[in-house]
Amino acid sequence: MNLASFPMPEQYCSSAEETLLGLVREASPIDSQADARVSFAGDVISGLSARHKQLPPKYFYDATGSHLFEAICRTDDYYVTRSEIALLRNVVAELAASIPDGAVLVEFGSGESAKTCLLLDAAPQLSAYVPIDISADALDEASARLAGDYPQLNIAPVVADFTGQLRLPAAADGRPRVGFFPGSTIGNFDKEGAVRFLRSARQVLGDQAALLVGVDLVKDEATLSAAYDDSHGVTARFNKNLLIRINRELSGDFDPEAFDHLALWNVAESRMEMHLVSCKDQIVNAAGHTFAFRSGERLHTENSYKFTADSFAQLAAEAGWSVSNIWISDEPRVAMVRLEPHP
């Protein structure tokens, strides 16, 4: 892993002196912690009871998982972040030029908000920033850092599951909205889920909005496989951290060492898949239930769909969006797509 050559978040951001924005921090939790724990337990019970065991990838992101994801982004193998940042640097002036005065930037799955600083620096006409993430820890850390870097910016973080009903904070009332969804997170949905999310984003952002989506493109299998099974084992730790989270939050007794990380390219579905493979026949308890794993049995933990320009445009169209522009990075190629609502 070459951490030294990867820009750290603070290097993307302008200094406090360069900004004219001020902080108003507004939290609007949609799910209480107790509700979130009940949903987690329900998803674990149904996912581990299914014929093909599976769990939704949103549960990767506890505090440790969020930090491990940031570490993945800094590996040489995970090209997605590197290519997307390089692309954003090249096109950010063009993106910023189309952002109206006083607009609010709404980011879905903002994580450490590292890429956001490129937009915030290039678009001082933004009046507020609404980062939305399921990980309260990641959101807290990012909001505190941005508060220092952009003292004049109205920052209104929202801890929420973006697959549920979203309600924007008052900072977004009556203002034009620009959505930002980088990092290929759109690829974690299956097709129906992606259309559902894009429809809901259109509703939340309104008829005058634009949505900037970071999309990973189909490429050679070797590059894809290395990105989801990096040579330093960070992605394997990220995957197994899900079991550690279940142990901690749902009184589980998973032995993470009794599972192997597996990343594979599913060409028919055009997606990378991550699994945890049981190394032996074993019985595991979690959330008050008992689950049997056969040796070699897989627990499917993530999909990451890869698109072509056409396949993504088609998906967006089903959700009521048209592609107004698409920019493609150098190899390994990723795309930044600007969507506008269908008239």
Ligand X SMILES: C[S@@+](CC[C@H](N)C(=O)[O-])C[C@H]1O[C@@H](n2cnc3c(N)ncnc32)[C@H](O)[C@@H]1O
Coil, strand, or helix at residue 60?
A: helix
Q: Which of 28, 64, 163, 225 binds ligand X (CB under 6 A)?
A: 163
What angle is formed at CA 253 by the lines to CA 250 and CA 254, rounded to 5 degrees? 105
Nearer to ligand X (CB atom), residue 63 or residue 147? 63
* Pick 26 or 161: Cβ nearer ligand X: 161
Per DSSP, the three-state class of 261 is strand
Does 189 interact with ligand X (rule: CB under 6 A)?
Answer: no
Report the nearest approach of ligand X to the CB of residue 115 (Å).
5
The residue count for binding ligand X (CB under 6 A) is 20
Residues of span 216-255 touching ligand X by CB under 6 A:
none
By CB under 6 A, name the one of 9, 109, 157, 176 that touches ligand X.
109
CA distance 321 to 32: 32
**Is the CB of 115 or the CB of 261 nearer to ligand X?**
115
Cβ proximity to ligand X: between 142 and 171 the closer is 142
Report the amino acid identity of residue 61.
Y
Q: Which is nearer to ligand X, 230 or 278 (CB)?
A: 230
Question: Out of 183, 194, 259, 274, which residue is the one contacting ligand X (CB under 6 A)?
Answer: 183
CB closer to ligand X, 238 vs 291: 238
User: How far apart are the C-alpha atoms of 336 and 173, rounded to whole Å?
Assistant: 27
Count of Cβ atoms closer than 10 Å to residue 64 Cβ? 16
| Candidate residues 140, 161, 249, 297; the one interacting with ligand X per rule CB under 6 A | 161
111 part of the interface to ligand X, by CB under 6 A: yes
Helices and strands in the chain: count of H runs, count of E runs: 10, 13
Single out the residue of 40, 78, 129, 162 in contact with ligand X (rule: CB under 6 A): 162
In the stretch 54-93, what mask flags binding to ligand X with x, by CB under 6 A?
----x--x----x--x---x-------x------------
User: Smaller CB distance to ligand X: residue 158 or 262?
Assistant: 158
Stretch that binds ligand X, among 129-137, 141-149, 167-175, 223-231 (CB under 6 A): 129-137
Q: Could you tell me which stretch among 4-12, 118-126, 131-139, 262-270 binds ligand X (CB under 6 A)?
A: 131-139
What does the alpha-carbon distance between residue 154 and residue 100 come to, in Å, rounded to a whole number?
Answer: 16
- Element of type H or E holding 2: none
> Residues 6 or more apart from 76 whose CB is under 8 A from it?
1, 2, 230, 231
The alpha-helical segments, DSSP class H, found in the chain are 9-12, 33-49, 63-73, 79-97, 116-122, 136-149, 191-205, 221-227, 234-249, 309-318
| Shortest CB 159 distance to ligand X, Å | 8
Phi-psi region of 234 (alpha: psi -120 to 50; beta: other; left: phi over 0): alpha
**Structure token pair of residue 110:** 């903002």
> Quick check: helix, strand or coil at residue 17?
helix
Window 294 to 323, contacts with ligand X (CB under 6 A): none
The set of residues, in sequence order, having a beta carbon less than 8 Å from that of 207 and lying 6+ positions away, is 341
- Span from 39-47, 128-136, 251-259, 263-271 in contact with ligand X (CB under 6 A): 128-136
Which span (110-118, 199-207, 216-224, 324-332) binds ligand X, by CB under 6 A?
A: 110-118
For 25, which DSSP code?
-
9 contributes a contact to ligand X by CB under 6 A = no
Q: What is the CA radius of gyration of the chain?
A: 20
Distance CA 315, CA 127 (A): 31
User: Interacting stretch for ligand X, rule CB under 6 A, among 109-117, 146-154, 199-207, 286-294?
Assistant: 109-117
Contacting residues toward ligand X, per CB under 6 A: 58, 61, 66, 69, 73, 81, 109-111, 115, 133-135, 138, 161-163, 182-183, 185
